[in-house]
Amino acid sequence: MLQLKRIFSLILVLVLCLGLSVQVQASAIKKAKEKDKELKNQKNQTQEEKEALTQQLNEIVDDMEQTQKRLSAKEQEIKQKEEELVNAKIDENNQYESMKKRIVYMYENGNTEFIEILCNSKDIGEFLNKAEYISRISEYDRAQLVTFQNVVEEVKKQEEALQTEYTELTALREELGVKQASVEKLLADTNTKLEELEQKIGANAARLDKLLKEAAEAAARKKAAEEAAAKAAAQAAASAAAQQADGGAGVQAAGPPVVSGGGQFTNPCPGASYISSEFGEYRDPSDPSHKGMDFAAGAGVPTYAAADGTVVIANYSDSAGNWVVINHGNGLSTKYMHHSALTVSAGQRVTKGQQIGLVGSTGWSTGPHLHFQVEVNGMAVNPRNYL
């Protein structure tokens, strides 16, 4: 019996330690999941930046190609204009040379011939015609020369305009080149950032994986230990009952009924040090209204059936831990959660004040306490109305 109690307390300590480690793991897992979410957000943002930059770069490269085409076309035009200018200068020069020749010819042959030509005219009409002809020739020469000179000037202007355009296009091409280099640099930076984020996500995922595995292992260990504790307690209760039946004195795991208070229900945990949470209290957004009353008590403090009834559940649940549900009839039932061990089993009749288990912190619990819940037709009500 003593041996059994020692084993039982050892198991109880183990359960408490395991419970603590499960909580620590749960918070590490939550952090790792949050980190994963944040890193993936960052990655998406960087991906968007990369796409925007790639589009920008494509536009610049297109502009670059267009500018290069325009530059090549401009080079062609300039070349043509240069040839035009050369031809215009040749025309101008030819005209000048022939005009000079005609003038020189007229002077070299003296005014005599000029006068002779005029004097040999048959009549004044022919004379006037000839004089007019000579004057027209020189006028024509001058006009031709001016025309050719004007053509040269015009072509020169056109060539200068083309040169200006060419210079502007060259500047544009340089500007685009600088832009392209800077966008390419940004793109390279973004790629580096993406690689870094991928690495971080991978490392975090590996860590999360490891944590989840460890948590699953710890939860399995905790469950096994809690089940072992429940079994040991049941054995202790059975052994005590057997001793009692044999008429033996000795220490009893489940003593006579413990009834306190004048209510319909007895206090299910008179050994509690205080009430840590009342019915209806706000807890957190996922559990806005507390469905029962929490009796804060040391691990191992006995818990009792609130009234006569039948145990309908006495087992382990992930959320309630080792728990007991007693049906009292007339739509009334009570629930007792987070025990380190149970001393009753499903199907058993219990009397008011009969021990049903030992306070613990199994299931979703942050410290040893009894969660006591009263329900009327399945609806949780304030237990204080019954105590």
Closest CA to 268 of 309, 305, 308: 305
On the 0-12 / 13-18 / 19+ scale of CB atoms within 10 A, 9 is middle
Stretch that binds Zn ion, among 3-11, 123-131, 280-288, 371-379 (CB under 5 A): 371-379
**Nearest-CB residue for Zn ion:** 371
> Could you tell me the smallest distance in angstroms from the CB atom of residue 342 to Zn ion?
17
Number of residues located near Zn ion, criterion CB under 5 A: 3
Pairing of strands 302-304, 309-317: unpaired
Of the ranges 141-149, 260-268, 327-335, 365-373, which one interacts with Zn ion (CB under 5 A)? 365-373
Q: Per rule CB under 5 A, is residue 338 in the interface with Zn ion? A: no
* Tally of CA atoms within 13 A in the half-sphere of 184 that contains its CB: 8
User: With respect to Zn ion, which residue has the nearer C-beta, 5 or 290?
Assistant: 290
Residue 215 or 380 with smaller CB distance to Zn ion: 380
What angle is formed at CA 184 by the lines to CA 183 and CA 187, rounded to 5 degrees? 85
Which stretch in 37-45, 258-266, 358-366, 368-376 sits in contact with Zn ion by CB under 5 A? 368-376
Q: Which residues of 306-320 are buried (b: 16+ CB within 10 A; e: fewer)?
A: bbebebeebebeeeb
| Span interacting with Zn ion, options 9-17, 44-52, 206-214, 366-374, rule CB under 5 A | 366-374
The CB-of-277 to Zn ion minimum distance in angstroms stands at 6
CB of 317 to Zn ion, least distance (A): 14
Judged by CB under 5 A, the stretch of 14-22, 72-80, 206-214, 363-371 that binds Zn ion is: 363-371
Using CB under 5 A as the criterion, what x/- string covers residues 149-188 for binding Zn ion? ----------------------------------------
Alpha-carbon span 83 to 71, nearest angstrom: 19
Alpha carbon distance 216, 25 (integer Å): 10
Shortest distance, position 295 Cβ to Zn ion, whole Å: 9
Q: Least distance from C-beta 247 to Zn ion, angstroms?
A: 41
Q: Does 141 bind Zn ion (CB under 5 A)?
A: no
CB closer to Zn ion, 74 vs 335? 335
Cβ of 109: how many Cβ atoms within 10 Å?
12
Written as six digits, the tokens of 310 are 């039948």
By CB under 5 A, is residue 371 in contact with Zn ion? yes
Positions 286 through 305 that interact with Zn ion (CB under 5 A): 292, 294
Q: Quick check: helix, strand or coil at residue 325? A: strand
Nearer to Zn ion, 60 or 363 (CB): 363
Alpha-carbon distances, residue 88 vs 28, 146, 154, 180 (angstroms): 88, 12, 10, 43
CB 367 within 8 A of CB 296: yes
Of the candidate spans 42-50, 217-225, 340-348, 369-377, the one that interacts with Zn ion by CB under 5 A turns out to be 369-377
Nearest distance, CB of residue 338 and Zn ion, angstroms: 8
Q: What phi and psi, each to the nearest 5 degrees, are found at residue 127?
A: -55, -50
Q: Which residues are at the interface with Zn ion (CB under 5 A)?
A: 292, 294, 371
